Chains A and B, each alone.
Chain A
Amino acid sequence: MMKKIKQVLALTVVTAVVLGAFISDSVTAFAMDGESTDQPIVLRVCNWEEYIDEGDWEDDEVIDLDSGDIFGENSLVEDFEDWYLETYGRKVEVEYSCFGTNEELYNMLTIGDEYDLVCPSDYMIMKLMSEDWLEPFSQNFFDEEDENNYYVKGVSPYIRDVFDENEINGESWSKYAAGYMWGVTGIIYNPDEVSREDASTWHIFDNEDVYRRITIKDNVRDSMFAAVGAVKSDKLTDPSFIADPDYRSLLMDEMNDVSEETVLAVQDYLQKAKNNLYSFETDSGKADMITGKVVANYQWSGDAVYAMDQAEEDDFYLEFAVPEESTNLWFDGWVMLKEGIGNDPAKKQAAEAFVNFLSMPENAVRNMYYIGYTSVISGGDDGRVYEYLEWNYAAEDDEEDVVDYPVGYFFSGDPEDEDYILMVPEEQTRRQLYAQYPTSDVIDRSAVMWYFDPDANARINRMWINVRCFNAKNIPVPVFVVVGALLAGILFIMIRTRLKNRDTGRQ
């Protein structure tokens, strides 16, 4: 008895020592969370993979604008920590991690991972907003007088309007979300194999000229959007529909139509198109486009830029088209999470400072150069973002075939603004520039895709599974019988072997 008690005691002591070490650790950590300003603020940031400048550029990659060089030596996260200490006199430590899809991020949050600042896409922001996850930005964040508020000073007027106008439960996005990158969706294609006209409609997926040489996105929302565009193609391209004074809001309604009838039509379309496709892809489409395995590829504008850049290195020129029906205007934006920020004003201030730091024009340019996507920052009074555009795309003096390319809608809010007309080689109206800063007619036919209610979501997810699964109704009865017989045979042999072995074992 004594022995048992001693054993138990010994175990308890060991456990207590180990646990104690843990507890005292967290207690000290907790105590230090208090007012002491010597301790760094810990900011937990979760962003998309490969979605921020990680520095370490080659020397010849320097962006030599007239107003000065821009160069990524260290990662933006490190630069932020230095800048914060310099500007606010307090240390901040960024714990930076990544997610792969919006759904993954949401699942991470629901199982209790805590972050302070995350960067989901538009519809996930809407979902998080409607489920009350988010901490609104402070009054000070919107104060244009504060010289460190680079976001409000620099955000494009066009993007600002979109964030102000779109609402969830009567609250505009801008209260909770600050834009990061934005773009449209379209088709990247090989002009030798596909005509621009064919690539300019969502009906390309059932176009037999590209039989098994086109890819679509392997996620239900992007594929749904494309399929809705194809199914409603006639209506969406009808001149009288486009001329309607309420065109913008009618278009939004059409593209976000998740009625049973439309979802069924979409399912039919995708099932038909599936047979015409090379594959459903998430990431491999770019590489397959560059290596010529496919001739057309459904792509987000930023990845399209990346693919075109890569292909050009091999003197292979790809182009980008935005379907005439409509295009999905998308955003990724920074939002603060209630559970992470808690009641810690210092942390909230640091999170807002992080957004502002990324919105500094030079940092926006570094990000754009590094990841290929388009920043929501136009720079406000600071002309460097526009300068970067000229540096990147403006035609050389001796070039022929030079055309005007107005981007005023983005930089000043006026599509006709003469201060923002680029002079570019003609092919750029079909290539990187067109993908990175689409023309204003593309913007006119763009639609934001909503976050759908649970019923509609269940409906479209069901639709998606139906499209991707092998339907048992397609199996001829004889095949069923043969496979069933084979399986039964295997099971029989295995059981027999087992029994036999038992017998020999007993001998």
Chain B
Amino acid sequence: MKKIFARKYLGIPYAVFLLLFVVAPLIVLFYYAFTNSTGHFSAANLIGFFTDSNTIGTLFYSLMLALAVTVVCLVIAYPIAYVLAKSGFKAKAVVVMLFVMPMWINFTLRLTALKEILTAIEGNLAFHPFINSVIGMTYDFLPFMILPLYNAISKLDGNLLEAAKDLGAGDVQAFLKVTLPLSMPGIVSGVSMVFLPAMTNYVVLDMLYNSTYIMGSLIGSYFSAYDWHGGSMIALILLLIICVFTLISGSAEEDEGQKGVLL
């Protein structure tokens, strides 16, 4: 009896899927980004993006927003993750669950509620569009920051801290020299899980009435104006930014696993 199907054939559906839904769209994206409306090769879209103060401004605004969201998330999430991981709290799992649970509720629903709360506090949402966007996105992305941090800190070996103290380090010094560097992989993966979506998630801005475009809405506006070429180019540039970011942070996450084994 000879085997007709080897195990590797099970991979065929995935290969087909990847070809159809990843490779093919990318080719289309490239094609549109580097052609003009007559179908000829053109770098005008690329040059246009970097010479127009409006598109550059939008990129800048998105970066600034994403940066603010990431910093706020990190500042809020780190202490929470630290306390959670360090405390001998028996109901730890429950507390972690409390932070994860909001993710089960549809995020537009949560934003609608947030909108009403912010209106009650501020009176008029339109006075603080940037801050509102930061609050909305922080609310949305906070769990993505807490979980990797929690994982990284709880893996931390207590003996290392004891050793640091034996060798004369104070609490602050032990934190800075031991805890913080060892939780770096968690920070990196948390940052990349917050920073990248924050650059494009324009639904939050729309729902909280920030009328300024970010990268996501800019791409959308090109497509609704039938300018598929310009829109594709911006999408491509965004893709490249994300690529660079993931390449750097991705390998840090990879190593996180190895480290766990080592420790």
A224 to B86, CA, bound (A): 58
- B interface residue count range (under 10 / 10 to 19 / 20 to 34 / 35 or more): 35 or more
**Interface flag for B262 (CB, 8 Å):** yes
Partner of A472, one of B54, B127, B259: B54
Chain A stretch 144-179: residues in CB contact (< 8 A) with chain B: none
Q: Chain B binding site: helix, strand, loop or mixed by DSSP? A: helix
**Interface flag for A466 (CB, 8 Å):** yes
Contacts of B119 in A (CB 8 A): 293
Partner of B2, one of A3, A284, A458, A501: A3
Is the beta-carbon distance between A107 and B251 smaller than 8 angstroms?
no
- Which residues of B approach A to under 8 Å, CB–CB? 2, 4-6, 9, 53-58, 60-61, 63-64, 67, 119, 124-127, 184-185, 188, 191, 207, 209, 211-213, 217-218, 221-227, 248-249, 251-252, 255-256, 258-259, 262
Query: Chain A's nearest CB lies how many Å from the CB of B75?
Result: 14
Query: Chain A's nearest CB lies how many Å from the CB of B183?
Result: 11
Partner of B60, one of A284, A468, A483: A483
**Interface flag for A505 (CB, 8 Å):** yes
Is the beta-carbon distance between A487 and B126 smaller than 8 angstroms?
no
**Interface flag for A212 (CB, 8 Å):** yes
Are A106 and B127 CB-contacts (below 8 A) given A472-B56, A498-B248, A501-B259? no
Partner of A470, one of B2, B9, B191, B212: B212
Is the beta-carbon distance between B212 and A468 smaller than 8 angstroms?
yes
The residue in chain B whose Cβ has the minimal distance to the Cβ of A101 is: B224
A501 to B249, CA, bound (A): 11
Is the beta-carbon distance between B191 and A490 smaller than 8 angstroms?
yes
Is the beta-carbon distance between A469 and B255 smaller than 8 angstroms?
no
Partner of A103, one of B125, B127, B218, B226: B226
Contacts of A7 in B (CB 8 A): 4-6, 9
Contacts of A3 in B (CB 8 A): 2
Tally of chain A residues near chain B (CB < 8 A): 50
List the 8 closest A-B pairs by CB distance, nearest first: A501-B255, A472-B57, A279-B209, A469-B54, A461-B225, A470-B61, A212-B126, A472-B53
- Which residues of A approach B to under 8 Å, CB–CB? 3, 6-7, 10, 101, 103-104, 106-107, 212-213, 220, 274, 277-281, 284, 293, 457-458, 461, 464-466, 468-475, 480, 483, 486-487, 490-491, 493-495, 497-498, 501-502, 504-505, 507
Contacts of B251 in A (CB 8 A): 498, 501
Which residue, of B126, B225, B258, has the highest number of chain A Cβ atoms within 10 A? Answer: B126
A461-B221, A465-B213, A473-B57 are known; give 13 further A-B pairs, CB within 8 A: A6-B2, A103-B224, A106-B226, A213-B124, A278-B126, A279-B211, A284-B207, A293-B124, A465-B222, A471-B54, A472-B60, A486-B67, A497-B188
Partner of A497, one of B54, B55, B218, B252: B252
Are A469 and B212 CB-contacts (below 8 A) given A293-B119, A457-B225, A461-B227? yes
Is the beta-carbon distance between B64 and A465 smaller than 8 angstroms?
no
Contacts of A494 in B (CB 8 A): 188, 191, 248-249, 252
